[in-house]
Amino acid sequence: MRYPQGGGLTAERQQFREELRLQGAERFARGEGSTAIARDLRVSVRSVQRWRHAWAERT
């Protein structure tokens, strides 16, 4: 099942996830690795890889 924009999360949880993505982007810019970022932010490496890919397309 596909969720509408936001993935079925509450507004608060969407904001929390966006803050994690922004933290990841800051660390991408510093050249940090996906594994370290995932560990520190407590998310999957695959999530960080998706964020990095989206970030690279925007820069």
Task: Identify whether 54 is part of a domain.
Answer: yes
Task: Identify whether 53 is part of a domain.
Answer: yes
Number of domains in the chain: 1
Dihedral of CA atoms 20, 45, 28, 6 in degrees, nearest 10, equals: -40
Task: Identify whether 30 is part of a domain.
Answer: yes
Task: Identify whether 3 is part of a domain.
Answer: no
Give the model confidence (pLDDT) of 8-42 as tens digits: 788 899 999 999 999 999 999 999 999 999 999 99
Task: Identify whether 28 is part of a domain.
Answer: yes
Give the model confidence (pLDDT) of 39-58 as tens digits: 999 999 999 999 999 999 98
Q: At which residue do the structure tokens 């370290």 appear? A: 36
Task: Identify whether 32 is part of a domain.
Answer: yes
> Residue 59: what pLDDT?
73
Domain enclosing residue 25, as ranges: 11-58
